[in-house]
Chain A
Amino acid sequence: MDCQCCNKKPARIRICDVEENNIGEQINVCPDCFNLIKRYMFDITKPLMTTPDVIREVQGLLTAGETSLATLPEPGGITPVGKEPVPVCPDCGMSLSEFRARGRFGCPRDYEVFAEHLDPLFERIHDVQPARHQGHLPEKTAGEEVVQRRQTVADLRKRLDAAVAEENYELAARLRDQIAELEAQPKAEERS
């Protein structure tokens, strides 16, 4: 049997869509087309499609030739190196291609780092245009001091460790007192 995608090479792989307990249409393809189909299906920027729809898209790419095939992400959703700049989040180390493969962000900052790639994705997922938040937001400064205090304490701890390592006990004692003071603050607030 010939591949139902390229209609040239012999079919070796059967794909079927499963929905709940029903098996949908079964399609036989060759290994080469299977690879392209896989790459198309796992591209997170594309809408979720049935196999027959994916095959139509891949057939379109096959007739269009080599250059359009290069736009497909590699299997597993990794964009070909050098084809596109790959932004990486400085906070959590997540790259755009890793985000695409996992479908999950690593940290809040990813939303800024990948900003220019997100609108089309959000517009599709949330079926809305423009992809802008419309609901409630807390005040910007809410809870800010909690974060600042936590970061300050973390910094002081690091300096304390360094001071102890250097056997600078005078500095270590001062740092220890500062940490104790900062950590006591929430309790003081509770009492008031």
Chain B
Amino acid sequence: MNEAFENFPHILGEWLKGTGPDSDIVVSTRVRFARNVRGFPFTGRASDAQRSDVLKLCEDALKQVHLDRSVVTLELDKLPELKRDVLVERHLISRELASGEGPRGVTFGRGEMLSIMINEEDHLRLQWIKSGFDVDRAFHALCKVDRALEKTLPYATSDRYGYLTACPTNVGTGMRVSVMVHLPALTLKENIDQVFKAAQRMNHAVRGLYGEGTRAFGDMYQISNQTTLGRSEEQIVEAIKAIVPKILEFERQRRGQLYTEDRSFVEDKVLRSLALLRSARRLNVQEMMSHLSMLRLGVDLGIISDVPVRTLNELFILGQPSHLQESEGRVLPASERDTRRAELVRSRLAAGSN
């Protein structure tokens, strides 16, 4: 089981492959369900013994549903901090689960599309990630797992309020759809606030790359539904399918505008970023992400042709601090991380390497 984890920094999730519908803008689509086991307090109020019982019950139930032969299960309280942070950077677990306490775990498939957190804020957080804008497939894949689990695991539910969750913002369907989008043109043109406000009016939130309270590095944003009660799962899916294309259309229109009206401006930005990433000897995360963002834009506008989107998506993850340290096998001071990051980026972007 641990072998799969040893390979970790080298095999990246399916969802990073840069394919799927609207992959010029949409990196990934994620659907998650929050579930709790009947007969136990929610994680925040459970004793270590109760958390341990929940962990065991969930692990047993997961074994019974035969998810996939290549499933990896990790007990997080037995895992060093660095490895937990790698999982966070991978979007396989949340920051809360990484920094949490007591018995808790995660199960994920080899393709890293399915991930199941145990003893996060809720006993179970099931999520499915697909590359590109693909809500239907992510939703149906996750439903299958959930329907199999509900046969062996007694979920805490009520007729009135649906799935009962620790936080009142998740009650009902317990379902959150998050679409990770790359919006460099809207950011350059200073239209992002408009997007935020329009989304909010329709009960959807726009957040940074690593979820709630994080900044939008590299012009990456997550669009997700904010309400979970009073609407069916299908209605939540339909709502996000109505909102996201509008944002994509807006971004594409602004990209077109940049290219036709400010051609030298956008070419200059993209090619400077490429030159910088191919030459820099030290790069901090923010710098790397903002220049990768320009490259991604440049690929879409046809300014750059020798860099695949997958490479850019992967660098977004592999250049994160914990991934760098994990591949070095030790904790590195910030200055050394910047040197290693620059090396990694140079080698992956070297002309002819792809």
- Chain B: minimal CB distance from A103 (Å): 7
Question: Of A91, A106, A134, A135, which one neighbours B44 at CB under 8 angstroms?
Answer: A106
A126-B227 Cα distance, complex, nearest whole Å? 5
B77 within 8 A of A: no
Structural contact, A134 and B230, CB atoms closer than 8 A: yes
A133 touches B160 (CB 8 A): yes
Binding stretch for chain B, among A23-31, A32-40, A63-71, A141-149: A141-149
CA distance A137 to B88 in the complex (A): 30
A131 near B42: Cβ-Cβ < 8 Å: no
Q: Is B40 an interface residue (CB 8 A)?
A: yes
Residues of chain B contacted by A139 (CB below 8 angstroms): 150
Bound-complex Cα distance A107 to B165 (A): 8
Q: Across the interface, do A138 and B229 meet the contact criterion of CB distance under 8 Å?
A: no
Give the complex CA separation of A126 and B231 in angstroms: 9
Contacts of A191 in B (CB 8 A): none
Tell me how many residue pairs across A and B have CB atoms closer than 8 Å.
Answer: 132
Bound Cα distance A125, B231 (Å): 13
Among residues 29 to 50 in chain B, which have CB atoms less than 8 Å away from a CB atom of chain A? Answer: 36, 38-42, 44-45
Bound: A105/B175 CA distance, A: 18
- State in angstroms the CA–CA spacing of A136 and B143 once bound together: 10
Interface: B350 (CB within 8 A):
no
A177 CB contacts on chain B under 8 angstroms: none
Given contacts A111-B158, A126-B229, A186-B60, contact A136 B173 (CB under 8 A): yes
- In the bound complex, residues from chain B placing their C-beta under 8 Å from that of A127 are 203, 227
User: Once bound together, how far apart are the Cα atoms of A185 and B309, in whole Å?
Assistant: 51
Interface members, chain B 41-78 (any A CB < 8 Å): 41-42, 44-45, 53, 57, 60-61, 64
In the assembled complex, B169 has its CB within 8 A of some CB on chain A: yes
The reply to whether the CB of A158 lies closer than 8 angstroms to some CB of chain B is: no
Q: Residues of A contacting B203 with CB < 8 Å?
A: 127
Instruction: Establish whether residues B156 and A108, one from each chain, have CB atoms under 8 Å apart when the complex forms.
Output: yes
Q: Which chain B residues in 113-162 approach chain A with CB under 8 Å?
A: 121, 150-162
The answer to the question of B353 belonging to the interface, with a C-beta cut-off of 8 Å to chain A, is no
Q: Interface on chain A toward B: helix, strand, loop, or mixed SS? A: loop
Taking CB as reference atom, which chain B residue is nearest A94?
A: B45
Residues of A within 8 A of B38 (CB): 108, 143, 147
Flag if B171 contacts A122 (CB, 8 Å). Answer: yes
- Asked if residues B157 and A92 are in contact (CB atoms below 8 Å), the reply is no
Residues of chain B with a CB closer than 8 A to A147's CB = 38-39, 154
User: Within the assembled complex, what's the spacing in Å between the Cα atoms of A122 and B158?
Assistant: 15
A105 adjacent to B164 (CB under 8 Å): yes
Q: List 18 A-B contacts (CB under 8 A).
A: A104-B44, A104-B167, A105-B42, A105-B167, A106-B45, A115-B160, A125-B169, A126-B229, A128-B230, A133-B161, A134-B231, A135-B234, A136-B232, A137-B162, A137-B163, A143-B152, A144-B154, A147-B39
User: Which 10 interchain pairs have the tightest Cβ spacing?
Assistant: A133-B162, A128-B230, A143-B154, A108-B156, A138-B150, A107-B41, A126-B229, A126-B227, A106-B45, A135-B173
Known: A92-B45, A107-B40, A108-B156. 18 other contacts (CB 8 A): A103-B167, A104-B44, A104-B121, A106-B45, A107-B41, A118-B161, A126-B172, A126-B228, A133-B229, A134-B230, A134-B235, A135-B172, A137-B159, A138-B155, A139-B150, A142-B151, A143-B152, A146-B152
- The residues of B with any CB-CB pair to A shorter than 8 Å are 36, 38-42, 44-45, 53, 57, 60-61, 64, 121, 150-169, 171-173, 175, 203, 227-235
